[in-house]
């Protein structure tokens, strides 16, 4: 049962937890879930709020939680890049081309197709979480 739970996406995992009391006990007993719920709650909450939870498993969050270094430069990785559930440092978030994000309209312009057609083709939606995101004195709004 624990093998099956480790391979469920996060959204299915939480739906399973709501089935009955036994399901909640089984899912709570999973070691990786306990650590993610205790130490990675903000990452879990971010994935749920951005509607990305169906793309990741508990194990996908557990792995970066138990590592120390940035996946790109091996410096201390104090952040979780939600689109890939990757541990990274702030410098890589700012400068790495692997972590660059484009809005749909900009990508459609580069691809030479309309925004509507691109949305129909991809059927991908990312719900952004409003807020101020910066480590500087002057916050940058995203």
Helices (H), the chain: 2-7, 10-17, 21-28, 31-39, 41-49, 58-66, 90-95, 104-111, 115-122
Number of structural domains in the chain: 3
Predicted local distance difference test score (pLDDT) of residue 126: 67
pLDDT > 70 fraction of the chain, expressed in percent and rounded: 87
Q: What is the mean pLDDT of residues 94-105?
A: 84
33 and 12 within one domain: yes
Structural domain boundaries enclosing 43:
1-66
Alpha carbons within 13 angstroms on the beta-carbon side of residue 21 total 0
Q: Do residue 47 and residue 9 come from a single domain?
A: yes
pLDDT at 57: 95
Query: Is residue 141 over pLDDT 60?
Result: no
pTM of the model: 0.75
Torsion angles phi and psi, residue 26, rounded to 5: -60, -45
Same domain membership, residue 78 and residue 115: no
60 and 74 housed in the same domain: no
Closest CA to 65 of 94, 90, 34, 24: 34
Same domain, 58 and 38: yes
pLDDT of amino acid 115: 87
């Amino acid at each position: 049962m624990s093998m099956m739970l480790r391979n469920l996406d996060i959204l299915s995992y939480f739906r399973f937890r709501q089935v009955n009391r036994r399901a909640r006990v089984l899912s709570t007993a999973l070691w990786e879930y306990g650590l993610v719920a205790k130490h990675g709650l903000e990452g879990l909450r971010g994935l749920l709020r951005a509607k990305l939870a169906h793309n990741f498993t508990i194990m996908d969050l557990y792995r970066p939680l138990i590592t120390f270094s940035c996946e790109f430069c091996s410096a201390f990785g104090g952040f979780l890049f939600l689109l890939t559930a990757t541990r990274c440092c702030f410098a890589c978030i700012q400068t790495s081309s692997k972590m660059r994000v484009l809005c749909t309209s900009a990508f459609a312009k580069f691809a030479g197709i309309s925004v509507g057609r691109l949305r129909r083709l991809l059927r991908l939606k990312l719900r952004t979480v409003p807020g101020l995101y910066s480590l500087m004195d002057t916050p940058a709004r995203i």
